[in-house]
Structure 1
Amino acid sequence: MSSTAPPAMVADDGTSAGPVVRRIAAIAVPLLLVVVGTVVSWLRLPPAARSTLWAEDGRNFIGDRIADGPIAGLLTVYEGYFHVVPRIIADLVVSLLPVDRYAVAMSAASCVVVGLVTALVYVTSRSVVPGVVARVVVASITFLVPSASIEVLGNTANLHWYFIWAAPWMLLSQPRTRRSGVLLGVVMLAAGLTEIQLILFVPLVLLAWRRPFARPMCVALVLSVGAQVAATLLSPRTENTNAISGLDSIAIGYLLNAVGGTIAATTDGVKNLVADAGLLPFVLTLLVAVAAAVYLVVRGDLRERVFAVTAAAASAGIWVAAVTLNPQEQFEYAQTIDEGLPTFVLLRYAVVPSMFLLAVTVVAASRLWRERGPVRLIAPLLAVLVVAVQLSGVVTTENRRHKGPIWSVQVDQAETACLSIDPSAVETIRTAPERRSPPSPWNVMIECDDLLGGRVE
């Protein structure tokens, strides 16, 4: 008598090996993902980008550390909220390394954090995605999401996006020991003190609190976002007086950025696809993710349903929040789409929305694989589709830092200039993005004493 059920040899965690092999894999796979996530993130950056400091990385994080000294500035508020993880990294870089290594070190440290988040997502997603292969695919989204290499990868100023991505996986996880629960609590505290938008996931505390070992995470999230809200109220972000785009532009912008960044990977790729086929490819791609989310709500277990709703809300909500809180004229997509999108560029705001679209598709594939009958054959097709989409955009030439200015070259020039002037004089080291008019505000001021000494004390 034949059966259409999934093979019995596949265990609940998606493996077919014995307990010893599973225990080894439980350690080896996350470690491997840390390495792969770090290395791939680094390789996705053009050489010049690795050696160039980005905006806040230079002026705010490195610059504040030089001005304030070690540790003192870790809780400095910038634009309405704390940035604890970038400031910790900058503190370590300035404390441990020569001045000319700052840019490479900040880029490398950012890639390491992406690798660590990759492993974190793999481990914590087990409650939603039991199969090992599916979890690896979910985790790979962290470092393979196509549009990340344009601006988000390789700088600490954009690490907060990865914490948004990791937060729901953490809150839906089921820590098995007090130690793992406390560790996740520490990670959540650091994430919450770096990204105020984690407030979006506070409702998940209602589910997570039922698990005793998850309570440190819940407390950490509430305390950290509470601190962020207080920081915003006491030190509000700079007011943006630009007009907010209409709903049509916000919706079209989501299709072009969140969906387009997934399937076309680059600014030119999106513009060319629109020119060739209009918005149809973007709508059809979005419908796949929507169908996956609906399927999970109808057929999934509790955590799959919660994740589907969370992913959909986060994907749309983060985009809407970004373009309404930071309105710009270039966001008027409804007015420019018929003109060939002359001012369009893929935005960093689209990276996390793209990640959740990809993730909900993989989670649906995981659920389909556990169904009975031929319908389960759709699962590998969806998984392959997600991997193929990511790999197609993993190598691009578009990057906001690919033209420099190279940090180490400027440091060498500044050191030469310092030889003939007062040691207390200050040299200006530029960071990306550069502009001539008006002059760029993204600079780092370093005294000649520190430049000639090679290190900042």
Structure 2
Amino acid sequence: MTAETTGRGRANAPAQETTAAMLRRRAAALFPQDAASRVGAWHVTLGVVFVLSAAALSLARQGGPGALDSIWAEDGSHYQFAFNHDAIHALFTPVNGYLLLVQRIVLSVIALFPVAWAAALMAVFGALASSLCALLVYHASAALVPSRVARACIVLPMVIIPFGESEVGNNVVDTQWYLTYSLFWMLLWNPRTRVRQALAAVVIFAAVGSDPLALAFLPLLGLRLWSRPLRESAWQLGAVAAGAAFQGVGVVRGALATRPPVHDYSASFALHGYVRYVAGTTLASSRELAHLGLSGAFAAEFTGLLAALAVACAALLLVNRAANWPLAAICAVSGLGFYCLVTMQGGAYTDRYAVVPLLLLITALAVLSSPVESRRGTRGAAMRTYLPLAALSVLVVANLAANYRGGSEPRATAPSWSSQVTAGRAACQIPGTREARLQVAPGGGWHVTVPCSRLTGLPAKSASAPRRR
């Protein structure tokens, strides 16, 4: 009896002692080290082709004067700020409660070029930024999502966001949302080489420096620090600290006072928006349901419920040990939490607030749908293995195709930037005129006031002096 009792005690002791170790091991599996494979010339060529093609698709979807000849509202206001202040002052001047690192740097550089180039430069940067983020996520997610098709389902909505011709495409200001989603993967990515570690750190710093809401993913970094050696996360930790310190400068300079009181901390308000504008837009849209005779608010609500039901069915159908349930759960919960945070603070439903949650929900579905090893010799098992991913691929492609054009994009009806520049140059020919007011999308109160010296290329005195006969 004593020996048996002792044996049972020894058998039970390790189980009790390794409970924490088991949890840590499972958490560590969320941050596997990548293969550190070499990047050859062929990989570089494919990457360049992808980025350029994706950027071209993003630019081509814009109607009206086109992406290259229109400026989004906030881009115009920050562009004008670059005219009136030097780059350092612009960089450390808070707007709407925080500092904008990437946006202010890019627009300060664009302000150095001729005014007529501004629209095209902003649009090209925005399209290339989202495409580059998509390419980075595609490679960074390989260790956790080995299936190339599943990763394609994750990154394609980044370059062709399923909102139609929305405010979040082809502009500089909304680059922060793509950087924030990329930050999520940079915290999961565990590269071995110094170059890739530095790349992850740069993206993290850029994301936090462009929007402090990216710090909402700090629990993921904490999980990484708890489960993995510190040396593997030193770059990420340093980048987060640097980004937070940069935003801290904004707080010292009164950033919080520039935040308008437009919040709405109602949980029902945020959850309603998530069902309608995140879950609904992810798998289907009101544009697709319109073909079935459904339109208006009811269509949006129905789409949201349909999407939520599809997620629940996927969870029931894909119960197996091979599915990365912890990662899928983290993606879904993080997306919901982030949407509630940003929507409650913003007090409104907008496309830009739904970008990161939408991409995280698609990521959760892609993780659950990733093919797993099927039983040998069983054709039915093999079909069941690939069926979920095939269904998800059809949903994603159909949704992107249905929403490639259209939507409520004011840039499609705004005056072209080139016509505004021409009108501004004509106005500067009037004696005594020192500056011209150029309207930008979506019109109304959004405009850019440009010195005549920048429009005509002549000194301010010459531009405003009467002509001699």
TM-score range for the pair, normalised by the shorter chain length: 0.7 to 0.9
Whether 1:125 and 2:141 are equivalent positions in the alignment is: yes
Distance 1:403 1:455 in 2: 34
Displacement of 1:109 in angstroms is 1.1
Q: Shift of residue 115 of structure 1?
A: 1.2
Normalising by the residue count of structure 1, what TM-score does the alignment of the two structures yield?
0.80
Question: CA 1:244/1:176 → structure 2, altered by over 3 Å: closer, same or farther?
Answer: same
- The residue identity in structure 1 corresponding to 2:73 is A
RMSD across aligned C-alpha pairs, in angstroms?
Answer: 3.3
What is the aligned length?
412
Cα distance change, pair 93–230 in 1 and its aligned pair in 2 (3 A):
closer
- What's the offset of the Cα at 1:245? 6.8
Aligned residue in 2 for 1:149: 165
In structure 2, which of residues 32, 44, 49 is the aligned counterpart of residue 27 of structure 1? Answer: 44
Corresponding residue for residue 76 of structure 1: 93
Cα gap change, 1:98 to 1:349, in 2 (>3 Å)? same
Change (3 A) 1:220 1:296: farther
User: CA separation in 2, counterparts of 1:455 and 1:30?
Assistant: 44
Check if 1:116 corresponds to 2:132. yes
Q: What is residue 136 of structure 1 aligned with on the other side?
A: 152
SS at match of 1:445: strand
Residue 325 of structure 1 and its aligned partner are, at CA, apart by 1.2
- Pairwise CA distance, 1:370: 3.4
Distance 2:243 2:217 in 1: 12
Q: CA distance change for structure 1 residues 352 and 248 in 2, over 3 Å: closer, same or farther?
A: same
Shift of 1:182: 1.1
**Residue 282 of structure 1, CA deviation:** 2.1
Contact 2:286 2:303 in 1 (8 A): no
Q: Is the CA contact (8 Å cut-off) linking 2:51 and 2:131 kept in structure 1?
A: yes
Please tell me whether the aligned partners of residues 263 and 346 of structure 2 are also in contact (alpha carbons under 8 angstroms). no
| 2:176 corresponds to | 160
Distance of aligned partners of 1:277 and 1:41 in 2 relative to their CA distance in 1, 3 Å threshold: closer
Matching residue within 31, 51, 73 for 1:55: 73
Which residue in 1 is equivalent to 2:373? Answer: 370
Structure-2 separation of matches of 1:189 and 1:357: 24
Question: Where does structure 2 lack aligned partners over 5 or more consecutive residues?
Answer: 1-32, 376-380, 461-469
Equivalent of residue 252 in structure 1, options 272, 282, 296: 272
Query: For residues 420 and 264 of structure 1, do their structure 2 counterparts lie closer, same or farther at Cα, with a shift above 3 Å needed?
Result: same
For 1:455 and 1:85, the matched residues in 2 are separated by 31
| SS class of match (1:429) | strand
Q: 1:411-450 deviations in whole A, cap 9, x for unaligned? A: 2111111112236x22222222223xxxx1x322221122
The residue number in structure 2 matching 1:453 is 457
CA distance in 2, matches of 1:418, 1:185: 46
Q: Which residue of 2 aligns with 1:421?
A: 431
8 Å contact from structure 1 (residues 78, 237) kept in 2? no
- Secondary structure of the residue that 2:449 maps to in structure 1? strand
The worse-fitting range, judged by mean Cα deviation, of 444-453 and 247-256 is 247-256
Are 2:285 and 1:264 aligned? yes
Q: What's the CA shift string for 1:242-284, capped at 9, x where partnerless?
A: 5737443432222221123331165995994466668344213
Q: Is the 2:97–2:255 Cα contact (8 Å) retained in structure 1?
A: yes
Secondary structure of the corresponding residue to residue 256 of structure 2: coil
Deviation at 1:146, TM superposition (A): 0.8
1:57 is displaced (CA, Å) by: 0.8
Give me the whole-angstrom Cα distance separating, in 2, the residues matched to 1:392 and 1:204: 34
Aligned residue number for residue 404 of structure 2: 394
Q: Distance in 2 between matches of 1:143 and 1:409?
A: 28
* Larger Rg computed on CA atoms: 2
The sequence identity of aligned pairs, in percent, is: 25
Stretch moving more, 106-115 or 63-72: 63-72
Output the CA distance in 2 between the equivalents of 1:188 and 1:138. Answer: 19
Partner AA of 1:369 in structure 2: V
Q: What's the counterpart of residue 338 of structure 1?
A: none
State the 1:292 CA deviation: 4.6
Q: How does 1:21-420 map to 2 (within 5 A)?
A: 26-50=43-67, 51-60=69-78, 62-95=79-112, 97-147=113-163, 149-209=165-225, 210=228, 212-229=231-248, 231-232=250-251, 234-238=254-258, 240-241=260-261, 244=264, 246-262=266-282, 263-264=284-285, 272-273=294-295, 279-290=301-312, 292=314, 299=321, 304-328=324-348, 347-366=351-370, 368-372=371-375, 373-374=381-382, 375-378=384-387, 379-396=389-406, 398-420=408-430
Alpha-carbon separation, structure 1, partners of 2:318 and 2:188 = 15
Mark the runs of 5 or more structure 1 residues left unpaired by the alignment: 1-12, 14-18, 332-345
**What's the CA shift for 1:398?**
3.4
Aligned-partner Cα distance in 1 for 2:182–2:319: 21
